[in-house]
Amino acid sequence: MSIQERIYKVILAPIQSEKSAMATELSNQYGFKVTTDASKAEIKAAVEKLYDVTVVGVRTLNVAGKTKRTRYGIGKRNDWKKAYVRVQEGQEIDLQVAD
């Protein structure tokens, strides 16, 4: 897989939650669900390429999947990775979804 192809596969979806909305308003940060093997450099390159902004910093965290009870016994949701990306002051990313 080439570097250009990898850029389009690193970011899976934007995170739209109350916490990420507060981070956007207060400190110009945006949350993204990313692949579990993505590095900070790859995430930075992908956001800069896809949204045409300058990334100042990237913070990542691994989220453990929840254990859930099902009718067939105990199951577990998949683990996933979250990234908070801070963009340069004065720039913004439009994450609005069409209705």
Give the per-residue pLDDT at 97: 59
C-alpha span between 78 and 86 (Å, rounded): 26
C-alpha span between 63 and 54 (Å, rounded): 26
Euclidean distance between the first and the last CA atom of the chain, given in angstroms as a whole number:
34
For tokens 């390429």, the residue is: 49
C-alpha span between 96 and 65 (Å, rounded): 27
In order along its 99 residues, the chain shows pLDDT tens digits of: 777 888 889 999 999 999 998 998 899 999 999 999 999 999 999 999 999 999 999 999 999 999 999 999 999 999 999 999 999 998 988 877 544
Superfamily of domain 3-87: RRM (RNA recognition motif) domain (3.30.70.330)
pTM: 0.86
**Domain positions in the chain:** 3-87
What is the number of residues in the chain?
A: 99
C-alpha span between 32 and 13 (Å, rounded): 6
